[in-house]
Structure 1
Amino acid sequence: MTRVRSLARRSGEEESSEEQKQPFVEQSTHEDEEEQGQDFDKASATRYGCIAALFVGVILSLVCLISGIYLLITNKAKLGASISISDTSREVISLVINVILALCTDGMMFMHSVSLRWALYRERRLEFNTNVRLFTSARVFGPNSWYINLVALSCLILSYASTSVLFLSDEAVLSSAYEQQESSKDPVLVNATALVALGIGLAGQAVVATWCFVSSKRLIPTWSANPLNTALAAIQKGDISHRPGRCMLSVHQRKMQSQETYPLEKQGNMLRGKNLVRYILVLLWSLALLAIAWPITIAALSKSIGNASAAGQASEALCWKLGFKWDQSSLACSRNYVTLSFSPYANDHKPNSAIFSYGTEAVLCVLFVCLIQGVQTIALHCLELLVNLSRDEGIWRQAHRDETKNAPGTQLVTNPFRAAVLSWENVFLFISKALMHWIIGQSLIPSVVVEDSKSFEDSRSFESIAYTSVENLTSLSLKNGFQFDMVYSRLIIYAILSIIVATVATFLALRRPKGCQPAALGHLQTLADLVDDWKTNGDGRIWWGDKTSQDGDQVRHAGTCREKSMVGPILCTAKYAGR
């Protein structure tokens, strides 16, 4: 009995001993977590915002596809629906559609961008927080492979191109031509072919975004676009780590060995930090030069044509003067446009020229604008790299502890929508996308017209045709066709916008940030080297500055801290290497 009590007492002491040890184990684990610092933000709000954008994209694609197919089936003669609205209303509606399209596509393709970032991470190829999404491909991951990127790019171009030919001037409605001259509203044809094309473009991007979300939702640690948060996630996942002795080495010095160095009062620019930037500038300035040449060419053709409807149709060139009116003008001496028809015979009236069917011209109309919009869409997509690099650098530079300026500190957790609205670069990019795609559509002015066929040899006057009903046009060997009226006064505005975009891009690429804080441009390893303490204060902020101890070390140290008062200004005359 005594032996049993002794065993029980011993067992109780062991349990008591284990209970006493357990708090120390938990405390030790907590201390390890404190040493590791802040956990990265998974950015669930951004994820939900992308899902909402995807939902809107799916709904819009279905609306466009269903309505477009319905109009194609029920209006086989015109391949669209006729409505009456003023020119101003049509221009405003087109602009609103482009704004909605830019919002929708940006939201859906953000999924594609995040998916690419972490696909590159898993392949150990992720260097920068920002990449050119459609021209950077993963080796294995399906939605980010080069061929899917090509599909996504084609759908993006198709979406923007179709909005340019969504509303057509219905000049084929001739039975009430004289009555319409006194009306403020003009007949407009809602292009069913363009509606279907828009639906296909949106549906293609929605499929790619859905594929990215479904196949990688468990493989994406964070949906945040914040470069600091991405760097912290990569550190905690074990891919990169802090390297001592590099507290003053920027992204431009990333290939140098760790060493002592003096701070630079001005940092390097994007052009030196990322080689791809120079090619983007070449592309944007090439687009600007083409945009300048376009109205010059149209003005020269307009002068040579005179008041004829197309080249080769005028017996004698009439007087001509340069005009800058927004509205299309065909009055004597002030013609400001040139007409391009899609049937070659309608342009030159040569017997050997081909004539396309109305349905073929409807498809060619969309494809023609795709060729024009394609170059611009690619250029604006590449501009995103410069904008996002500038955004990433701006987030990092908010951490600088500067005595002469208000140092708000940088945050690892940011509201993506608020950050986008407050970033002038993002606002400029968004406005450029919506406005430049819109102005191309307004400069081309697509329309449906009545064209004569090769067998039409009747000498009737246009006035006699004007009173012929649409149903009886076939008896006159006439057909409906598509044409573009390229207005050079509007193309001049497009050229000015292209120059502004290229100039802003050049400014972003050549701008050298001021201050001793090393530039990072969203380079993850550089951020991991510069940030030595990831813990944030109550507002989620950290500051960067001098952290040298007061014992007067010869080699100073710079780093981050959650307390603004714990970091000081950088001494430009001292060497820094750090720990």
Structure 2
Amino acid sequence: MSTGPYPGCTSWVPWDHQAWQAQAKDEEASASATPRCGDQGQELWTRDLCIVGLILGWGAALAALSTGIYTIASGPTETPSFLADRVAFVGPTSVAFTATKDPYIIDHRVYRVSEAAMVIIPLLLQVALTFVSACLDSIHSTTLRWALLREGRSFHNTNLRLLTASRSSGPNGWPANLASSFGLVLAYAGTVVMSFSVEVVALFELKPKDGKMVSSYDYAADLGPHRFGIDFNGWGMLGLGTGLLIQSSICTWCMVRDALERGVGTWNSNPLATARACQRIDMFRYSHAKPRTPESDSSQPPFAEPRARQPSMRSLVPATRTIANWIWGVVAIYGILALVVLLLGVKIQNSASIDAVHKKFREVPGFPEVWRYFGQLKYKYARVWKGHTEWRGLLIQCLAISPFLFGLHLTELLGGLARDEAIWRAAATGKRGASPESSLLLESVKSWPNVVVFVAKTLIPWIFGYGLVCNTFIIMAFFPLLTVLVMFLIVGVFAEYLIRATPKGPQPSTYGDVRALVALVDDESWDHDRIYWGDKGEYKDVDGVRVAGTAQEKLGELQMDALYIGLAR
């Protein structure tokens, strides 16, 4: 017989979804004879939340697309009065506007706002994008999870959504994953170049001198109360809309396919809910008594002494070692970029000095000005008032933003594995045990690694928008890039901690391995809202051996010097 994944378990058989469908059709009694994947353990609230997120994705996509197309197609508009005869920074780009009927920057629109709104609006847009992306990610990752489980190719509750493909599910195959990856990059790049802060810094006037018109700047003049605005780039909105449209289309495909084939056992991504759904449809069949653990060898006896520490993530999920290395590779990329920008700012453009920053402002620059403009490099790729050329900037921004999105996607997997482990360990350490019914949204908020990942996915793209942005010029600044580097260093340390940490206590670690959870939880425990893990008393068949397992009521702690069935070395 073939060797199974647990000690004493000689074989396991992945669920054959197609074979079951044929059998159910022949028997004409699928609902009563064998539960369809999707009828048991279905979390309708989570599914409905996914549908709401999908609606938001479509709404945001169509709104951004239509606005972007209108902005580009309607042509230039007049320069607003608060910018007339003024020098203003549009993002990091300095632009002089005259009081004549010259148009505003082509493919852009500008609106006067307060200083606080100028700073907060881009951040709020980034938060909104992160939320909508999380909803779309949930749909895509849920259907991928069940496709991989059916194929017997991955048994973890959390997977690398864009770097793992199904062989049988079209919306989770490699072509769809590549399209979804492009859509993700396009959406984030579009958000970065979609809005820019506008700040008036000087009066501007053209004066005749020696038969020529010479520019005159007055940084000491009274600029009035209306000095701030926000600029919207039509190509950025078009990029955001296109990116969300691609992702929403693939997620709609996922939902339609599930409606037709009913391949998702539960939309609740709680690992216990996934394991319960697998148990109820008999996805894994074992030939020997449970429970078992994934790190064991079948040649070992099923009795073991409890251990004070459990294996780390890098021990049970070896792929996480490679993931951590890739994250450090992203750190190296942005470290090199920040160093190159500093060296070029010093050697070529002479922008890496306080004096260079002071020349841009009428007053002595404070910390925000020094942080944004110290070591700034500028390379022009488009003309401000002629030609629809900002699409080049969008593509350049996509290339620049791709490495850290890749790094954040990898970090998201580690956060998900840590969250899955925390949910399972609550069965022994939590006052209320663990619950398959709990919402993953709530569990994610309670999981500090997941909160760290969400904050990183929101702040790093926002900060990067100050470090490298395309707005007529490719503009890079040293301190924002250094900030991104420091944040990714923190992410790297965070990743190393997650994969090296050894959970405390004798409860076997699983990191969301669905086979392990199905094996470790007693069958009768799935019928209850709460699951507790601990000492279940003496084992009847062997003297001196005790049982570690689950129940619907609080269990006692394991005796660290006793032998147990249900543990493995």
Q: Is the 8 A contact 1:240 1:525 kept in 2?
A: yes
Q: Is the 8 A contact 2:266 2:274 kept in 1?
A: yes
- Distance (whole Å) between structure 2 residues aligned to residue 505 and residue 301 of structure 1: 32
Are residue 145 (structure 1) and residue 184 (structure 2) matched?
A: no
- Distance (whole Å) between structure 2 residues aligned to residue 528 and residue 329 of structure 1: 53
DSSP 3-state at the match of 2:249: helix
Q: Is the 8 A contact 2:65 2:241 kept in 1?
A: yes
Shift of 1:561: 0.6
Aligned to 2:69: 69
- Select the structure of larger CA radius of gyration: 1
DSSP 3-state at the match of 1:326: helix
Q: How many residues align?
A: 474
Q: Is the 8 A contact 2:118 2:197 kept in 1?
A: no
Q: Is the 8 A contact 2:118 2:198 kept in 1?
A: no
Shift of 1:542: 1.5
Aligned to 2:244: 202
Correspondent of 1:562 among 552, 565, 569 = 552
Correspondent of 1:229 among 254, 270, 273 = 273
Shift of 1:197: 0.8
- Distance (whole Å) between structure 2 residues aligned to residue 307 and residue 529 of structure 1: 65
Q: 1:281 to 1:40 in 2, by over 3 A?
A: same
Matched AA of 1:233: A
Aligned to 2:325: 282
Aligned to 1:271: 314
Q: Is the 8 A contact 1:137 1:149 kept in 2?
A: yes
DSSP 3-state at the match of 2:155: coil
- Distance (whole Å) between structure 1 residues aligned to residue 196 and residue 147 of structure 2: 43
Are residue 426 (structure 1) and residue 438 (structure 2) matched?
A: no
Aligned to 2:84: none
Answer 1 or 2: which has greater strand percent.
2
Matched AA of 1:574: A
1:177-225 deviations in Å (ceiling 9; x for gaps): 8589735625654211111111000111110111000111322121011
Aligned to 2:121: 93
Q: Is the 8 A contact 1:545 1:560 kept in 2?
A: yes
Correspondent of 1:495 among 485, 503, 512 = 485
Shift of 1:254: 6.2
Are residue 110 (structure 1) and residue 138 (structure 2) matched?
A: yes
Q: Is the 8 A contact 2:61 2:240 kept in 1?
A: yes
Q: Is the 8 A contact 1:241 1:528 kept in 2?
A: no
Correspondent of 1:541 among 515, 525, 530 = 530
Q: 1:174 to 1:201 in 2, by over 3 A?
A: farther
DSSP 3-state at the match of 2:531: strand
Are residue 513 (structure 1) and residue 552 (structure 2) matched?
A: no
Q: 1:145 to 1:356 in 2, by over 3 A?
A: farther
Q: 1:167 to 1:407 in 2, by over 3 A?
A: closer
Shift of 1:328: 5.1
- Distance (whole Å) between structure 2 residues aligned to residue 75 and residue 326 of structure 1: 34
- Distance (whole Å) between structure 2 residues aligned to residue 525 and residue 259 of structure 1: 17
Q: 1:187 to 1:260 in 2, by over 3 A?
A: closer
1:537-557 deviations in Å (ceiling 9; x for gaps): 87x212111113386832322
- Distance (whole Å) between structure 1 residues aligned to residue 298 and residue 332 of structure 2: 37
Aligned to 1:319: none
* Percent identity between the two aligned chains: 30
Are residue 486 (structure 1) and residue 486 (structure 2) matched?
A: no
1:518-570 deviations in Å (ceiling 9; x for gaps): 111111111122112443687x2121111133868323221101121xx3221
1:270-302 deviations in Å (ceiling 9; x for gaps): 111112211110111122222233322222211
Q: Is the 8 A contact 2:118 2:229 kept in 1?
A: no
Matched AA of 2:455: I
- Distance (whole Å) between structure 2 residues aligned to residue 169 and residue 429 of structure 1: 27
Matched AA of 2:388: G
- Distance (whole Å) between structure 2 residues aligned to residue 78 and residue 357 of structure 1: 7
Correspondent of 2:461 among 426, 437, 457 = 437
Q: With structure 1 as the length reference, what TM-score do the two structures score?
A: 0.75
Q: Is the 8 A contact 1:383 1:505 kept in 2?
A: yes
- RMSD (CA atoms): 3.2
Aligned to 2:340: 297
Correspondent of 2:367 among 312, 319, 325 = 325
Q: Is the 8 A contact 2:60 2:244 kept in 1?
A: yes
**Gaps spanning 5+ residues in structure 2: where?**
1-32, 34-38, 77-104, 207-215, 357-364
Correspondent of 1:417 among 441, 449, 454 = 441
Shift of 1:63: 0.8
**Gaps spanning 5+ residues in structure 1: where?**
1-32, 34-38, 315-322, 347-354, 448-481
